[in-house]
């Protein structure tokens, strides 16, 4: 099981990915498109072209976790425009909850 904590580094692939790809191809995308090491413990988030599914790839020190969520109806809303997101934003993606434009963020970083 992947536990998402506020300290985790989470990167999102902005462009859609072919979900026929396995872990090895997703690792290659992490290196080439996101310029990040897939073995670093970072969580990587991908979506398919039709916005009906997302995948989360993570390495836990022993092996890779590949989590896949397919929506039973509707499409993913509110896909981030930048590659770095926070833990609460990933939770919003997983639950397909979109914060309305101009709304106050749930959390703020402490200095």
Q: Write the pLDDT tens digit of every residue in 3-15.
A: 888 889 999 999 9
Alpha helix positions (H), the chain: 23-32, 87-94
Burial of 104 (0-12, 13-18, 19+ CB in 10 A): exposed
Predicted TM-score (pTM) of the model is 0.85
Residues of the chain with pLDDT under 50: none
Q: How far is CA 37 from CA 32, 40, 43, 55, in A?
A: 10, 6, 10, 17
Token digits of residue 74: 């509707």
Specify the long-range contacts of residues 33-41, CB closer than 8 Å, at least 24 apart. 34/83, 36/11, 38/64, 40/9, 41/8, 41/9
Beta pairing partners, 43: 10
pLDDT score at 111: 64
Rounded CA separation 7/71 (Å): 27
């Amino acid at each position: 099981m992947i536990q998402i904590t506020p300290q985790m580094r989470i990167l999102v692939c902005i462009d859609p990915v072919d979900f026929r790809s396995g872990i090895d191809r997703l690792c290659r995308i992490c290196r080439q498109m996101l310029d990040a090491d897939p073995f670093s413990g970072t969580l990587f988030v991908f979506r398919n072209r039709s916005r009906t599914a997302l995948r989360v790839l993570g390495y836990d020190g022993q092996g890779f976790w590949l989590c896949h969520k397919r929506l039973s109806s509707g499409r993913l809303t509110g896909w981030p425009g930048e590659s770095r997101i926070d833990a609460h934003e990933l939770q919003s993606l997983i639950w397909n909850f979109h914060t309305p434009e101009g709304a106050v963020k749930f959390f703020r970083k402490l200095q």
